């Protein structure tokens, strides 16, 4: 994988830009207010989160990146599990999925299996709104809807019948509980570490309850979007105090030496006092 020093864009079109980044050679949507801004300004995106994910797997293991967007964390996980490991990655936005596959191909990543699909509690189809990628927006914030949108495949993790799963990273804009429900047998069989976005207070209790009922211990993981030691050496913080709100879940039977993270003990726990 290439790790060249950030440079001006190699190629820029109406919607996307191609440039060298800390993650490799990346094509991305330049109007994306989070991912696009991060890669343009800092030559990296969510590096502190990605670094934590990489520490949760070992060479030869299997990881799932559910809600992969353009593949920033997919590339990091593919590197972490190495040539004998596997990463299964899932993205339901059609144009975003195409960019994801572009990034896998141009970095010559052979150990990733990419799925154009939403992931949930059943197999079937789902509706995904199509953003206007020519306008500024948070394209990673698109959620499955019951209204208008593109019809895309909907699948469960259990339907893959995987031989091994060591880590599941889930970032699906409020559908985390559905993904867990559709992965019930996989979780029971393989007991992977789970890493989930959990930034919607109204949905948090059901997610925490599902994890605790599956005999997991939980901690809040709150990496900031801005990394002061970013790849571009840019000290200007464009993201202020914005944090990524996540849960790290580890099977109770596994020893977990977790430091500097608040443990979650109740479904009503929240990451900050209000």
Tens of pLDDT, residue by residue over 86-129, are 999 999 999 999 999 999 999 999 999 999 999 999 999 999 98
Token pair of 258, please? Answer: 């977790």
162-206 pLDDT tens trace: 999 999 999 998 899 999 999 999 999 999 999 999 999 999 999
Question: What is the pLDDT at residue 67?
Answer: 96
Residue 148 lies in a domain: no
28 has a pLDDT exceeding 80: yes
Nearest-Å Rg of the Cα atoms of the chain is 18
Which one is predicted more confidently, 23 or 12?
Answer: 23
| pLDDT score, position 105 | 97
For residue 109, being part of any structural domain is answered with yes
Tell me the C-alpha distance between 91 and 37, whole Å: 20
**161 torsion bin: left (phi>0), alpha (psi -120 to 50), beta (else):** left
pLDDT at 4: 40
3-state secondary structure of 62: strand
Q: Give helix then strand counts, H and E, for the chain.
A: 7, 14
Q: Are 125 and 188 in contact (CB under 8 A)?
A: no
Residue 227 backbone class (left: φ over 0; alpha: ψ -120 to 50; beta: rest): beta
d(CA 216, CA 44): 32
pLDDT computed for residue 5 by the predictor: 41
- 161 exposure class (CB count in 10 Å sphere: 0-12, 13-18, 19+): exposed
Range of the domain at 75: 45-118+157-264
pLDDT band at 130 (very low <50, low <70, confident <90, very high): confident
In a domain, 76, yes or no: yes
- pLDDT at position 147: 66
8 pLDDT more than 60? no
Q: How far is C-alpha 33 from the chain's CA centre?
A: 17
Tell me, yes or no, whether 238 lies in a domain. Answer: yes
Instruction: Give the separation between CA 91 and CA 68, rounded to whole angstroms.
Output: 5
Q: Is 135 in contact with 31 (CB distance < 8 Å)? A: yes
Mean pLDDT, the chain, rounded, equals 93
Q: Are 145 and 107 in contact (CB under 8 A)?
A: no
Is the pLDDT at 13 greater than 90? The verdict is: no
| Residues 154, 127: Cα–Cα separation, whole Å | 9
pLDDT above 50 for 242: yes
7 is a domain residue: no
Terminal CA-CA length for the chain: 44
Determine, yes or no, domain membership for 190: yes
Residue 140 has what DSSP assignment? G
Structure confidence at residue 51 as a pLDDT band (50, 70, 90): very high
Across the strands, what pairs with 151?
127
Does residue 233 form part of some domain? yes
Spatial separation of the C-alpha atoms in residues 231 and 225, rounded to whole Å: 13
CATH number at residue 231: 3.40.50.150
pLDDT band at 72 (very low <50, low <70, confident <90, very high): very high
On whether residue 144 sits in a domain, the answer given is: no
pLDDT at 244 over 60: yes
DSSP, collapsed to helix, strand or coil, labels residue 79 as: helix
Q: State the total domains in the chain.
A: 1
pLDDT of residue 49 exceeding 50: yes
Instruction: In whole angstroms, give the CA distance from residue 34 to residue 140.
Output: 8
């Amino acid at each position: 994988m290439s790790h060249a020093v950030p440079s001006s864009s190699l190629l820029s079109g109406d919607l996307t830009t191609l440039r060298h980044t800390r993650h490799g050679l990346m094509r991305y949507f330049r109007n994306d207010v989070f991912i696009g801004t991060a890669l343009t300004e800092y030559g990296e995106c969510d590096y502190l989160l990605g670094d934590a994910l990489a520490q949760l797997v070992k060479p030869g293991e299997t990881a799932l990146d559910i809600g992969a967007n353009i593949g920033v964390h997919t590339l990091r996980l593919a590197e972490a599990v190495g040539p004998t490991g596997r990463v299964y990655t899932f993205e339901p936005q059609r144009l975003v999925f195409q960019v994801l596959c572009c990034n896998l191909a141009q970095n010559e990543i052979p150990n990733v299996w990419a799925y154009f699909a939403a992931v949930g509690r059943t197999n079937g189809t789902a509706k995904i709104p199509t953003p206007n990628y020519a306008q500024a927006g948070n394209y990673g914030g698109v959620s499955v809807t019951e209204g208008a949108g593109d019809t895309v495949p909907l699948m469960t993790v259990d339907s893959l019948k995987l031989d091994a799963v060591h880590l599941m990273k889930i970032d699906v804009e409020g559908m985390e509980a559905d993904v867990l429900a559709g992965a019930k047998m996989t979780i029971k069989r393989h007991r992977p570490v789970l890493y989930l976005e959990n930034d919607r207070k109204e949905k948090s209790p059901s997610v925490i309850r599902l994890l605790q009922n599956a005999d997991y211990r939980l901690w809040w993981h709150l990496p900031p979007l801005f990394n002061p030691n970013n790849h571009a050496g840019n000290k200007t913080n464009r993201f202020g105090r914005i944090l990524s709100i996540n849960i790290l879940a580890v099977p109770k039977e596994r020893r977990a030496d977790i430091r500097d993270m608040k443990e979650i003990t109740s479904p009503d726990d929240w990451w900050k006092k209000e």
